[in-house]
């Protein structure tokens, strides 16, 4: 479409109405550029045609100082952002502007619109290859899929961001591909920490960071996942490279959509969410797909408001996931990190045809022991463990040791705990769980199994404690 010119007729926070000529209305989702006197450009995105001459748009930057009558230029196309090798190692905002105070991108950097259809169903490939993370409880009970979608659900302060950062670290050695990190509505401090840490660990050269932070307008937070996804799609489609897409936090994307919906005057739906909630989540998640020769593996953190897992946003996001990792506040309170609930977490890959018979049976056996321990906890609290039968006492004894064995020190927390991080292979995890459930560790102190890597490390810890003549 031919570019056209208009003028601002009203400004209500992030909602801006722009008048154009009767035959020159820009299409929905096209970008408008405000010609004001500020150094920072102001980009708007068209969301509705409110009459034959006026469009209603959402601002992607702050509108403070914007006045009626300000000229606006229509680009006639969706927001386009830089993609390709030039953006590797850089930090971008929602419209693709470099924000890391580094040099400007080359003028010949290719650009791509942020609104793209998902791949055709016939072109998509299914995800059946296990994506090893080195985190015991995930690899055992909720294995991730190469080219699949995994979400980590948890309330405030239970370790979602730490888990995402640990997964970035864990993938550097094993995963030869590109990482794209989308910081959606999170704290500015977390963005600084991640950038500094990536610069120090040498990971940044293979990573693109895209941020729409908590202090930015809802339009920026709403569109930033599409910006990150567009960069990932370019590497998948044009470069045929595997991409690891990390999002923290997808709930903030839904929340920003709810704010935009209210600003546009739509009636709210269930629990105050936007009526288009399911459509918005689906339009994002359906684009995260793998095609022949290249995969996009998505790992997403999802905030659970007030620890309510029946919240409409949480249920809408979980319906698109292959692996669901649930973080538990009670486990975090007991000091079990990562605080992953082994009974609530699940994965479609936990199938003997995918992970093998041995892994499947061991996972079922472990889950059975932990479920029985959970059932007996009320009785233990009231009457004490001595009142249980011999069989139940044995199960509780082994489940407690298994629970401690599934805790693990992380590389990203080493600065706070002083304990070096551990990465454990799936084979070592299965072997350790089998040994515990077969009774090898029945006489060990429970603390020998807490915050270790492999069972061999726990064995050494137990042996050194025995030599010292006290608990480890």
Q: Is 173 a catalytic residue?
A: no
User: Can 461 be counted among the known catalytic residues?
Assistant: no
Please give the C-alpha separations between residue 371 and each of 254, 399, 467, in angstroms, as whole numbers: 33, 9, 35
Q: Give pTM, 2 decimals.
A: 0.91
Name the catalytic one among 186, 216, 233, 259: 186
Q: Residue 175 has what pLDDT? A: 67
φ and ψ at residue 351, rounded to 5 degrees: -140, 135
Residue in 31, 111, 14, 133 with CA at minimum distance from that of residue 72 = 31
Residue-wise pLDDT for 428-467, tens only, equals 999 999 999 999 999 999 999 999 999 999 999 999 988 8
Q: What separation in angstroms does the CA of 165 have from each of 108, 109, 241, 316, 334?
A: 33, 29, 22, 24, 22
Active-site residue flag, 186: yes
Per-residue pLDDT tens for 169-213? 777 667 667 889 999 998 888 888 888 877 777 778 888 999 999
Q: For residue 434, what are its two tokens? A: 């089998």
| C-beta separation of 70 from 7 below 8 A | yes
pLDDT of residue 471: 59
The helix/strand/coil state of 244 is: strand
Alpha helices in 150-276 (DSSP H): 160-174, 188-201, 218-237, 250-263
* Active-site residue identified among 12, 38, 174, 187: 187
56, 90, 160, 461: which one is catalytic? 160
Sequence-distant (≥ 6) Cβ neighbours of residue 443 within 8 angstroms: none
Low pLDDT (below 50) residues in the chain: 1
Q: How far, CA to CA in Å, does 275 sit from each of 224, 316, 423? A: 21, 12, 43
Strands (E), 260-391: 296-303, 323-326, 346-347
Q: Which two tokens stand for residue 202?
A: 């040498």
Q: How far apart, in whole angstroms, are the C-alpha atoms of residue 141 and residue 133?
A: 12
The residue count of the chain comes to: 472
48-to-18, 57, 85, 168, 312 alpha-carbon distances in Å: 11, 7, 35, 39, 26
pLDDT at 154: 92
pLDDT digits (tens, 9 = 90+) for 73-118: 999 999 999 999 999 999 999 999 999 889 999 999 999 999 999 9
Contacts of 381 (CB under 8 A, 6+ apart): none
Closest C-alpha to 74, from 31, 40, 23: 31
What per-residue confidence (pLDDT) applies to 1? 47
């Amino acid at each position: 479409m031919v570019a056209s010119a208009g003028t601002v007729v009203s400004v209500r926070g992030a909602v801006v109405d722009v008048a154009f000529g009767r035959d020159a209305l820009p299409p929905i989702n096209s970008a408008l550029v405000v010609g004001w006197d500020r150094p920072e450009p102001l980009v708007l995105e068209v969301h509705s045609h409110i009459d034959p001459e006026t469009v209603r748009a959402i601002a992607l930057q702050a509108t403070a100082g914007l006045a009626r009558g300000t000229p606006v230029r229509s680009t006639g196309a969706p927001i386009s952002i830089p993609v390709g090798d030039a953006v590797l190692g850089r930090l971008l905002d929602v419209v693709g502007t470099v924000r890391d105070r580094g040099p400007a991108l080359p003028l010949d950097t290719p650009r791509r619109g942020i609104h793209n259809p998902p791949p055709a169903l016939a072109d998509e490939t299914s995800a059946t290859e296990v994506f090893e993370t080195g985190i015991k409880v995930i690899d055992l009970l909720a294995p991730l899929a190469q080219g699949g979608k995994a979400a980590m659900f948890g309330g405030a302060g239970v370790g979602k961001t730490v888990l995402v950062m640990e997964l970035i670290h864990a993938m550097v050695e094993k995963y030869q591909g590109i990482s794209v990190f989308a910081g959606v509505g999170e704290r500015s401090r977390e963005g600084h920490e991640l950038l500094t840490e990536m610069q120090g660990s040498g990971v940044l050269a293979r990573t693109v960071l895209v941020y729409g932070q908590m202090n930015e307008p809802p339009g920026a937070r709403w569109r930033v996942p599409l910006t990150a996804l567009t960069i990932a799609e370019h590497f998948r489609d044009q470069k045929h490279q595997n991409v690891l897409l990390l999002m923290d936090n997808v709930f903030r994307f839904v929340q920003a959509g709810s704010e935009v919906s209210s600003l546009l005057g739509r009636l709210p739906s269930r629990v105050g969410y936007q009526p288009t909630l399911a459509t918005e989540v689906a339009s994002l998640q359906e684009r995260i797909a793998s095609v022949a020769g290249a995969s996009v593996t998505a790992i997403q953190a999802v905030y659970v408001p007030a620890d309510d897992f029946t919240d409409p946003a949480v249920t809408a996001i979980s319906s698109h996931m292959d692996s669901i990792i649930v973080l538990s506040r009670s486990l975090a309170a007991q000091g079990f990190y990562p605080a992953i609930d082994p009974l609530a977490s699940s994965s479609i890959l936990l199938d003997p045809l995918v992970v093998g018979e041995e892994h499947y049976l061991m996972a079922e056996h472990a889950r059975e022991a932990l479920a029985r321990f959970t059932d007996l906890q009320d009785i233990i609290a009231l009457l004490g463990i001595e009142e249980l039968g011999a069989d139940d006492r044995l199960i509780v004894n082994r489940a407690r040791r298994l629970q401690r064995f599934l805790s693990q020190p992380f590389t990203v927390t080493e600065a706070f705990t002083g304990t070096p991080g551990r990465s454990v292979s799936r084979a070592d995890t299965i072997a350790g769980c089998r040994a515990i459930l077969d009774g090898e560790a029945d006489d060990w102190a429970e603390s020998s199994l807490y915050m270790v890597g492999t069972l061999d490390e726990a064995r050494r810890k137990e042996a050194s404690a025995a030599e010292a003549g006290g608990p480890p």
